[in-house]
Amino acid sequence: MPTINNPENRPVVYGTDATDDISVAIDYTEYYERIATALETIATNSTTVATNSTTITTHISNILAKQTIIADKQTTIAEKSTAMETYQKKLKELSESAGIRVVGPFDSWGNIATYKFLIEQAKILDQTNKASDDLQAKALAEVQRYIDLINARKSF
């Protein structure tokens, strides 16, 4: 019987033909099965990768949409901040000049009394009882005393 060289120890199938000559064939069945299993695994993993790629694409689209919304909001915030800065500058300018008038909660009382006296009682037209300069100075001093009293009690 002749010697058969099989250096990688592959499975060998022996057979005989009608003349009793020996024929040799290498059996690759195990390798083919492993290749088939590997191909099935590759196909499964490819499907998983495709599914994950679709999911990633969806998430990227969502992120891009949110970025657009955020950019719009940032633009609105920037516009509002600029407007607020403009208004604050205007208030500062007015406060540094004679442009701002503040009305306190009891300021209307004086206006009511003045209106009643000057308009409803028509005292603004009365020139007959004009006070002397000295009496007017005393009246102004009394007005200042009341102003000082009111300013001292700003916790109304």
* pLDDT given for residue 156 in this prediction: 47
* pLDDT given for residue 24 in this prediction: 60
CB 11 within 8 A of CB 26: yes
Q: Is residue 2 domain-resident? A: no
Same structural domain, 25 and 67: yes
Same structural domain, 122 and 56: no
* pLDDT given for residue 154 in this prediction: 60
Q: Which two three-digit tokens encode residue 6?
A: 């099989």
Tell me the pLDDT tens digit for each residue of 133-146: 888 888 788 878 87
The residue to which tokens 């701002």 are assigned: 100
* pLDDT given for residue 9 in this prediction: 67
* pLDDT given for residue 93 in this prediction: 86
Same structural domain, 34 and 70: yes
- Beta-strand (E) ranges in the chain? 12-16, 22-26
Q: Is residue 4 domain-resident? A: no
Its sign, for the CA torsion 73, 77, 79, 80, is: positive
Same structural domain, 73 and 49: yes
Same structural domain, 64 and 135: no
* pLDDT given for residue 131 in this prediction: 77
Boundaries of domain holding 144:
107-152
Indicate the SS3 state at residue 55.
helix
Q: Is residue 100 domain-resident? A: no
* pLDDT given for residue 102 in this prediction: 67
Same structural domain, 79 and 127: no
Domain C-terminal end among 95, 122, 140 = 95
Number of separate domains in the chain: 2
Q: Is residue 130 domain-resident? A: yes
* pLDDT given for residue 72 in this prediction: 96
* pLDDT given for residue 17 in this prediction: 57
pTM of the model: 0.40
How much is the CA Rg of the chain, to the nearest whole Å?
Answer: 52
Residues of the chain with pLDDT under 70: 1-25, 99-103, 105, 108, 154-156
Name the amino acid, one letter, at 121: Q
Q: Is residue 1 domain-resident? A: no
